[in-house]
Amino acid sequence: MKAIFLDRDGTINVEQPQYLTSIEKLDIMDEAYDAIRLIQENHFKSIVVTNQSCVGRGLLEEPLLQKIHETMRHRLAEKKAYLDSIYYCPHRPDEGCMCRKPKTGMFEQAAREHQIDLKQSYMIGDKEFDILAGKNAGLKTVLVLTGGGENTLKYFSKKIQPDFIAPNILEAVKWILSSQSHSPKNQKI
């Protein structure tokens, strides 16, 4: 099974200045609905992997984070866009966990639970650690210019380069689908 892993803040929803700590501030980007529909129509798993250190910092209780994720899934589903799973790392950067991007714990867990072939999968995100995490997990990567993507592009490490740069999540998914080796007539773009 192939998957497209998606960062949350700045990729699916509009990034907040600090952290997304309330349901009222959840603003899903218009392109995300079509992008996630395309993912599922083309038989990829759509899986969110997101660092949420606001939990570890005491700025957000885990039950509220789960409620935010439930609300996001519900809003997407209202427009026939479905996520297969959401994985999150609640730890602060200094805790040394194995799940926080750019480490690969969330990807490995998803691969086990969904029988995903990571080498045939992709990561879409707006931060350098999204791209690095994808590379570390053996995925092809796409940097989106939404959220922090424009800033990430300015300061990108010479060592870490995405496979593609897209203006938004929808164009990222379209590029992924066009880069697949199977016949274009099997794709829905």
Catalytic residues: 7, 9
| 41 phi, psi to nearest 5 deg | -65, -25
**CB-count burial class (<10 Å; 0-12, 13-18, 19+) for 107:** buried
Distance CA 118, CA 120 (A): 5
Query: In this structure, how many other beta carbons lie within 10 angstroms of the beta carbon of residue 145?
Result: 18
Distance CA 53, CA 56 (A): 5
Bridge-based pairing of strands 164-166 and 45-51 is unpaired
User: Cβ distance 2 to 120 under 8 Å?
Assistant: yes
Distance CA 81, CA 76 (A): 5
Distance CA 136, CA 118 (A): 10
Q: Name the amino acid, one letter, at 73.
A: R
